[in-house]
Amino acid sequence: MSKFKTVIWPKVILFGDSITQFSFQANGWGADIANKLARKCDVVNRGLSGYNSRWAKIILPRLISSHSSADNNNNIAAVTVFFGANDCALEDKNPQQHVPVQEYSENLKEISRLLTSSGVSADRVIFITPPPVHEAAWEKECILKGCPLNRHNSAAGQYAQACVQAAGQCGADVLDLWTLMQKDEQDYTVYLSDGLHLSARGNQFVAQHLWGLLESRVADLPFILPYWGDVDAKDPESSLLCDQ
């Protein structure tokens, strides 16, 4: 039997669609958060391109075990839930991804309930609304794929509002990107690469605002394993195998 304890890194889980899946690309918002939390926390990318809240609710139990939740999930410092950009697709143009706004709201609440039942309390959950849609730019992408414009910014706004309300009802925090990116009539198009997904500035925007919500949840996490200068060079085991 081992004489020393296994080092367990706390986790921040990023759960979402393509905007989350792509967040570990160079200068991505997920990579920025992971860099900030190096030696303190594992940032786990569970982004699933093209997914909506209906499918997310179904697969979440496969991603976070409900068995021995006290052991498995107490080390989860935070979970971001970032869906809506696909749910808000227009039903007549993109029925595959579309989810009605009322069902979207219920799905988010069910995701929160599933997390709670797995030992991840609502105060560790951060909902993120879909960002705005730049219709002219996204329409060009749609045409390249041989389909008509399948998202409207006004629809994304309805889903963002539903996300904010669901978060309030669940007791979770929320990052309202749709509102923040358009605040004071600023040019939100600079935050989007193709009218839907994030540009470099958009990733920076998300990282900055998400860190504002995340920082308090990870502030007390210790630096894992001793600083190299504190390791006893003559007896490294005494430093490296202690219960830190």
In a domain, 6, yes or no: no
* 67 catalytic residue (yes or no): no
Q: Give me the catalytic one of 23, 53, 105, 197.
A: 197
What is the rounded distance in angstroms from the CA atom of residue 183 to the CA atom of residue 56? 29
Tell the residue number behind the tokens 């839907």, with chain if given: 196
Residue 1 domain-assigned (yes or no): no
Residue 184 has pLDDT above 60, yes or no: yes
Asked whether residue 71 is assigned to any structural domain, the reply reads: yes
pLDDT in tens, 29-48: 999 999 999 999 999 999 99
**pLDDT above 50 (res 187):** yes
What total of structural domains would you count in the chain?
1
Q: pTM for the whole thing?
A: 0.94
Domain-embedded: residue 2: no
| Structural domain contains residue 236 | yes
Residue 2 is among the residues annotated as catalytic for this protein: no
Question: Across residues 79-87, what is the average pLDDT?
Answer: 98
Q: What's the domain range around 43?
A: 11-241
State the average pLDDT over residues 107-131: 97
User: One of 71, 123, 194, 232 is an active-site residue; which one?
Assistant: 194
Instruction: Identify whether 3 is part of a domain.
Output: no
Q: What's the angle, vertex CA 46, arms to CA 40 and CA 49, rounded to 5?
A: 145
5 belongs to a structural domain: no
Q: Are 56 and 111 in contact (CB under 8 A)?
A: yes
- CATH number of the domain encompassing residue 217: 3.40.50.1110
In a domain, 144, yes or no: yes
Orientation of helix 29-36 relative to helix 200-218, angle to 10°: 30
Please report the pLDDT score of residue 23 as a whole number. 98
Q: Which of 18, 23, 53, 118 is an active site residue?
A: 18
Rounded Cα gap, residues 160 and 148, in angstroms: 23
Residue with tokens 């499918």: 55
At residue 198, the 3 state secondary structure works out as: strand
